[in-house]
């Protein structure tokens, strides 16, 4: 338990080092070792789901040791609900990416799996690090293996796409490093201590003018990674030219680094600047939602269409986040997980047909449901997940985001809803062109359907899509304390109203203003004795929401209640 996070973190790196001693001619042994290591990484992370205590507001499984004492940098790891879910997503998608590469990669197999496992360590470290310098180390570590994965095993324009990805991300990282150093020296001027401790930075009250400059510095690094409009142009190229596993990891995990950065650093450390920049962020998000969806509609390349869908979906995630209320932020986090599941599966689906036909042109396909019925069924399910069909995971995230955005501004919610409609348009149009109609192309007449290994890569994603769609409460409960912490910094009025309010038996329209971490939107719920419940008891009570009278029908009081209503 004392080194649990380190075991999860360095297992992929240990696997990469082990592969260095395997002869490069022995491809099968390399594949087996890589898959075993990636699978063990996921299995090792599963207890995190059960051992994490959702009611404890502190970071858990903390490990701390001096790293560079002369400058105050520590090896400091810890997780909360946000990072717990993202770590589990990372280990799952990492094992799926490795398994999906079994037959797709036939050249330089050893180097490929080494880079893939090193990339896994970089992503896990970024989600675990509570020392800002350590976070930056893992943030930069991710660049190198992804650059080589695209540049060596990518398609036609791989070198251009790899260099563009590297330069964009590096430019944002350098500016972010300057912001980290400014925060580091300001902390010393106030406390007399040189430290990169993120938990210490969360308690600082920085001058507003300094917050503005730091927000812009962090914004550039995180917005490029999301990516937000207009910093998105590297993404379609990188997705299009990356190998299938690279696209899966990029969409499912690496894009979440940007949103994680905003939630972990920008909002709690720079609350005044975060509120001040809401108009700018909202405008960029709305443009991204509509622009990404419209451009996706016009794509002729299957993979490029899914890439532009990510631009639109991640803009929706950012809009929910900058609603700056508990329901919006909760929906933003849940939708990050949903995007990783659905878009990761869509890139796997593209990879399946590309491996058989070596083309991604949509016009080259048609009528595949007749030739590959199992493939068409999985594709339909993940398409419905992506567009937010009720009973599937995408609906829960979109519902919470729209609710949070609607409370903040109805016009923003209208634009967000247009993105949902456009998302359904381009995904259904893609499905119609590829799965329905006649099999006009003779090359498609004898395509093999999904094999057992390929189906194994989709099975956990299908299970998660249905689980979150039908019963999201366990995921929402694990986010309560993380959302409370962010709200306490960036929108303290929500917690203040909740703390001073009397308890209520049933939420009313007036309670749409505040929330103690997303349980109820203003006053604490009443217990059996008529007194306000504690946050822990409220969390348990929220699993079975109270009946809503006719006067408040249609008004949802919490993320949990919204999810229950969706069921």
Which of 445, 469, 490 corresponds to the end of one domain? Answer: 490
Q: Please indicate, yes or no, whether residues 328 and 404 belong to a single structural domain of this protein.
A: yes
> Are residue 477 and residue 357 in the same domain, yes or no?
yes
Strand 73-79 versus strand 60-68 pairing type = antiparallel
Answer whether residue 217 is part of any domain: no
Please check whether residues 413 and 500 belong to one and the same domain: no
As a whole number of angstroms, the distance between CA 195 and CA 218 comes to: 18
Give domain status of residue 500, yes or no: yes
Q: Does a structural domain hold residue 46?
A: no
In terms of domains, do 446 and 534 share one?
Answer: no
Q: What is the pLDDT of residue 465?
A: 94
Domain shared by 411 and 554, yes or no: no
What's the pLDDT at 551? 36
What pLDDT is attached to residue 105? 86
Do 345 and 468 fall within a single domain? yes
Q: Is the same domain home to 403 and 501? A: no
Q: What is the pLDDT of residues 260-309, one digit of tens each?
A: 999 999 999 999 999 999 999 999 999 999 999 999 999 998 999 999 99
* C-alpha separations of 5 from 33, 46, 138 in Å: 22, 12, 15
pLDDT lower than 50: segments of the chain: 501-502, 504-524, 528-558, 561-567
Residue 457 is assigned to a structural domain of this protein: yes
> DSSP letter string over 447-468?
-----HHHHHHHHHHHHHHHHH
Please, are residues 183 and 203 in contact by the beta-carbon 8 Å criterion? no
In a domain, 178, yes or no: no
* 470 plus 526 within the same structural domain: no
Instruction: Name the DSSP letter for residue 21.
Output: T
470 plus 518 within the same structural domain: no
Number of structural domains the chain divides into: 2
How many Å apart are CA 184 and CA 65, to the nearest integer?
A: 19
pLDDT in tens, 328-381: 999 999 999 999 999 999 999 999 998 888 888 888 888 888 899 999 999 999
């Amino acid at each position: 338990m004392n080194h649990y996070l380190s075991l999860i973190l360095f297992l992929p790196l240990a696997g990469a080092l082990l592969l260095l001693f395997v002869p490069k001619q022995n491809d099968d042994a390399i594949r087996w070792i890589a898959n075993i290591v990636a699978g063990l990484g996921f299995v090792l992370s599963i207890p995190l789901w059960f051992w994490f205590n959702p009611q404890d507001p502190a970071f858990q499984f903390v490990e701390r040791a001096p790293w560079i004492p002369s400058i105050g940098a520590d090896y400091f790891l810890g997780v909360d609900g946000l990072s717990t879910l993202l770590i589990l997503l990372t280990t799952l998608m990492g094992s799926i990416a490795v398994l999906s590469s079994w037959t797709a990669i036939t050249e330089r197999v050893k180097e490929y799996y080494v880079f893939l496992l090193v990339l896994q360590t970089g992503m896990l470290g970024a989600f675990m690090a509570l020392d800002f310098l350590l976070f930056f180390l893992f943030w930069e570590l991710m660049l190198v293996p992804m650059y080589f994965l695209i540049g060596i095993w990518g398609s036609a324009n791989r070198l251009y796409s790899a260099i563009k990805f590297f330069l964009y991300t590096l430019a944002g990282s350098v500016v972010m490093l300057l912001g980290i150093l400014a925060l580091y020296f300001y902390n010393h001027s106030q406390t007399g201590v040189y430290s990169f401790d993120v938990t210490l930075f969360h308690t600082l009250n920085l001058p507003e003018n300094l917050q503005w400059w730091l927000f812009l510095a962090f914004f550039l690094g995180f917005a490029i990674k999301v990516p937000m409009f207009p910093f998105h142009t590297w993404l379609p190229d990188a997705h299009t030219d990356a190998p299938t596993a690279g696209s899966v990891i990029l969409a499912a995990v690496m894009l979440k680094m940007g949103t994680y950065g905003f939630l972990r650093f920008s909002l709690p450390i720079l609350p005044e600047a975060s509120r001040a920049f809401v108009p700018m962020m909202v405008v960029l998000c709305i443009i991204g939602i509509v622009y990404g969806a419209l451009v996706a509609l016009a794509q002729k390349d299957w993979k490029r269409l899914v890439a532009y869908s990510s631009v639109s979906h991640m803009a929706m995630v950012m809009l929910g986040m900058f609603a700056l209320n508990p329901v919006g932020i909760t929906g933003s986090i849940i939708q990050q997980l949903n995007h990783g599941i659905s878009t990761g599966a869509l890139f796997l689906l593209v990879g399946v047909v590309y491996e058989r036909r070596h083309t991604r042109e949509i016009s080259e396909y048609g009528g595949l449901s007749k030739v590959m019925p199992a493939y068409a069924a999985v594709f339909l399910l993940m398409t419905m997940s992506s567009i937010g069909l009720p009973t599937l995971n995408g609906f829960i995230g979109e519902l919470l985001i729209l609710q949070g955005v609607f409370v903040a501004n109805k016009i923003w919610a209208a634009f967000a809803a247009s993105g949902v409609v456009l998302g359904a348009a381009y995904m259904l149009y893609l499905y119609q062109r590829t799965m329905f109609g006649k099999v006009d192309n003779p090359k498609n007449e004898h395509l093999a359907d999904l094999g057992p290994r390929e189906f194994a890569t989709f099975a956990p994603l299908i299970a998660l899509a249905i689980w979150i769609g039908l019963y999201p409460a366990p995921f929402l409960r694990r986010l309560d304390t993380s959302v409370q912490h962010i709200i306490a910094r960036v929108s303290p009025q929500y917690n203040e109203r909740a703390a001073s309010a009397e308890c209520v038996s049933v939420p009313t329209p007036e309670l749409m203003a505040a929330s103690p971490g997303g349980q109820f939107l203003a006053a604490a719920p009443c217990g059996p004795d008529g007194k306000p419940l504690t946050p822990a008891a409220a969390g348990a009570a929220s699993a079975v929401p109270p009946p809503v009278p006719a006067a408040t029908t249609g008004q949802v009081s919490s993320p949990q209640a919204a999810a229950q209503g969706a069921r």
